[in-house]
Structure 1
């Protein structure tokens, strides 16, 4: 390939990353905004870019998002924690935001720049970060507390029935009743852990 061809290809590649200024006037629909913000990692990316001006290293974004997800500092992150966030951002989330004109993402250089269109998401992002997440977390806690309370009540009934000689329960061995109670608590605990991990 000649030097002229290389230069032409580089120029063409650069043009694909130029944002059409007319696109800055695009008004995003609420459906589009909610679709873009439905993924926690995309919300974290936009939250980070909102507080940092100019061109940002994608690595820095991935590290901060990973730290937020694990509720630790960037310095405390392990290599696996970084990798679990970096790959989805690189392959999916950042290209999606770039496609919608929210950011300029140079995948080959690993850089990200926030565009003016991102301003349209700010008020939804603020609401999501400051209140919706709190409400969601509270709802989840109430849900799991209800499960644990239900098992506690049911376990009390089983034990009381066994001690008082209820027709069916009196025939069951104490070990079977105790084992059932332990198994119920274990299943709910495992379900809660699996739910929390899937949300990450």
Structure 2
């Protein structure tokens, strides 16, 4: 932990994570993949074996991954990465039950690790592209570009606003669903 981090005595976790702590956590691929895999679970929980197999599969591109790679990932998770994530309160790790569970503090690092979805675009890139496409299409309508001018400015703007509204609704719903489910799991 960095020198400037305050620690709560009862939980032994920092009250506010320092940027250097967040960087230290996220600079390792296996810690990022651990967080990503747990986020993809409806309840934010996985067994260490299941988690190590998922990470080994991503690292090797093989399904199932070779057993030596699974073992290597399992040992590094158990000895290094899960204790580090637990130290900062990002996960809780029951080493007896071999279960890992996301904690609320994961939101502090999520801001810094926008995971690119399987389609290869982050939400920020998607919204930027949609806004750019809408702007260029509107300009094309105003300039009278053949084929596009028939749409009219009103129809063009309405279509892009509806797409934007539906996309942002889905984005908010997907985020809220995960966050609400984590809150119910805690109670």
TM-score by length of 2: 0.52
Look up the match of 1:28.
17
Q: Is the 8 A contact 2:13 2:88 kept in 1?
A: no
> 1: distance between equivalents of 2:23 and 2:76?
19
Which runs of structure 2 are paired with 1:1-200 in the superposition (5 Å)? 20=11, 26-52=15-41, 53-73=43-63, 76-126=64-114
Q: Is the 8 A contact 1:103 1:114 kept in 2?
A: yes
> 2: distance between equivalents of 1:34 and 1:65?
20
Note the C-alpha offset of 1:119. Answer: 1.1
- Bigger share in helix: 1
Deviations 1:146-188 (A, max 9, x none): xxxxxxxxxxxxxxxxxxxxxxxxxxxxxxxxxxxxxxxxxxx
Q: Is the 8 A contact 1:103 1:118 kept in 2?
A: yes
Q: Give the unaligned 5+ runs of structure 2.
A: 1-9, 122-187
* 4+ residue runs over 4 A deviation: 127-131
Count of residues paired in the alignment: 109
TM-align CA RMSD: 2.4
Note the C-alpha offset of 1:55. Answer: 3.1
Q: Is the 8 A contact 1:47 1:125 kept in 2?
A: no
Q: Larger radius of gyration, structure 1 or 2?
A: 1
Q: Give the unaligned 5+ runs of structure 1.
A: 1-18, 132-200
